[in-house]
Amino acid sequence: MTAQRSLDIHALADKLRAGDRAALARAITLVESVRPDHQAAARELVQLLLPFTGTAMRVGITGVPGVGKSTTIDTLGHNLVTAGHKVAVLAVDPSSTRTGGSILGDKTRMAKLSPERNAFIRPSPSSGTLGGVAAKTRETMLLCEAAGFDIILVETVGIGQSETTVADMTDFFLVLMLPGAGDELQGIKKGVLEIADMIAVNKAEGEGRNRAIAAAGEYRAALHIMQAASPNWSPPVSLISGLDNIGLDEMWAQVLEHRRRFEASGEFAKRRRDQQVKWMWTMLEERLYARLRSDPAVKARLPLLERQVAEGALSPTLAVDDIARLLGL
């Protein structure tokens, strides 16, 4: 590590903490880089800024495509900025390697929030694996906190493991649902309900109001028969309209009440500690996997091993033993 780079990192950290948006963007770009020297600099930067993080409210938001996440986040974020908060919106999109993701389009659709000086909207990089995306999102979240953003909204596209991943990096996990539960309720993954801190039935305006009320009743019944994750919190079900700004203030009041209760019981601090340890393991797994894929001896040997396993000439167990031997494990 050169003295010049160390000085540059310290200068970047100082500018970021002073609220310089260009410095924040540069820092995030550094975190997202795959260059080894940039990764080393990013680790130094995050460690330097760590004492100035941890005070923001971290809220994960998920929902199926079409549920109105972008509109809801746009309106909620604008409400919070108007109330004097600094809001950062981050996205975890593991599908971006296939589809190009949706957050860039979401950014253009967040017409109320995007122009706000106290708002920041950023997609996660397309890292090829969910673990990689999540690691970058965590680091970006810390950078935003160090830059003075006191509310971090982390959006997931609502596909598979991304929901659990976002729940593991936030303080409160909000699940948006569509009105008209009925058969749709049967398709809800139990795992999503188990990690939800709150369910909000969106589009509860106009002619959809009655369907939303009926859906809310179905979701309350589903939650009632499940064991709550915490003795201090039973996930509520609310009616909202991101489009018409209905119920969003009440919804946010529940987020704050959740934090109040969890801080009082000590669960908040424990959840944060557990998340830090999970982050460590995620990054370790990514580092080990990167070494596995880049090791010259393994790269030379893998095609033969894969072919032998595929043809049934070699058991997967023995193939793994061979790879582990090459890595000195």
Any domain includes 204: yes
Q: 228 and 99 share a domain?
A: yes
Same-domain pairing of 198 and 318? no
pLDDT digits (tens, 9 = 90+) for 27-57: 999 998 888 889 899 999 999 999 999 999 9
pLDDT of residue 50: 94
Which domain CATH number covers 150? 3.40.50.300
User: Is the distance from CB of 75 to CB of 248 less than 8 angstroms?
Assistant: yes
Residue 274, in any domain of the structure: no
Which has the higher per-residue pLDDT, 107 or 282?
282
Pairing of strands 119-123, 151-156: unpaired
pLDDT for the residue numbered 98: 44
Does residue 305 have a pLDDT over 50? yes
The answer to whether the beta carbons of residues 238 and 199 sit under 8 Å apart is yes
Same structural domain, 45 and 95: no
* 171 and 319 part of one domain: no
List residues bridging with 120 in a β-sheet: 88
Q: Cα(92)–Cα(69) distance, rounded to whole angstroms? A: 13
310 lies in which domain range? 280-326
Q: Give domain status of residue 275, yes or no.
A: no
Q: Are 179 and 87 in contact (CB under 8 A)?
A: no
Residue 295 lies in a domain: yes
- CA distance linking residue 252 with residue 246, whole number of Å: 12
Residue type, 19: G
Same domain? 42 vs 63:
no
Share the mean pLDDT of the chain.
85
Please report whether residue 271 resides in a domain.
Answer: no
Same domain, 1 and 107: no
* Position 241 in a domain: yes
Place of tokens 């999970």: 278
Tell me what pLDDT residue 269 has.
Answer: 95
Q: How confident is the model at residue 130 (pLDDT cuts 50, 70, 90)?
A: low
Query: Are 116 and 238 found together in one domain?
Result: yes
What is the predicted pLDDT for the residue at 147?
96
Per-residue pLDDT band at 285 (split at 50, 70, 90): confident
Instruction: Let me know if residue 212 belongs to a domain.
Output: yes
What is the C-alpha to C-alpha distance for residues 26 and 240, in angstroms, rounded to an integer? 36
Q: Which residue has the tokens 């830059």?
A: 147
Pair 64, 45 in one domain: no
- What's the pLDDT band for 183 if we cut at 50, 70, 90? very low
Q: Is residue 105 domain-shared with residue 19, that is, in the same domain?
A: no
pLDDT of residue 218: 85
At 65, the pLDDT band (50, 70, 90 cuts) reads confident
Note whether residue 31 is domain-resident.
yes
Residues 150, 219, single domain; the answer is yes
CATH number at residue 18: 1.20.5.170
Does 60 lie in the same domain as 192? yes
pLDDT tens-digit series, residues 10-35: 999 999 999 999 999 999 999 988 88
Residue 93: its pLDDT value, please? 65
115-154 burial, b for 16+ CB within 10 Å, e for fewer?
ebebbbbbbbbbbeebbbbbbbbbbbbbbbbbbbbbbbbb
Among 211, 236, 264, residue at a domain's last position: 264
Domain check: are 163 and 227 in the same one? Answer: yes
> In this predicted structure, what is the pLDDT of residue 156?
84
71-92 residue pLDDT tens: 999 999 999 999 999 999 998 7
| pLDDT in the model for residue 97 | 47
Angle subtended by helix axes 130-146 and 21-32, to nearest 10: 160
pLDDT of residue 283: 81
**What is the Cα–Cα distance from 318 to 304, expressed in whole angstroms?**
13
User: Into how many domains does the chain fold?
Assistant: 3
What integer pLDDT is reported at residue 243 of this predicted model?
Answer: 93
Residue 110: pLDDT above 50? yes
With 70 as the cut, is the pLDDT of residue 198 above it? yes
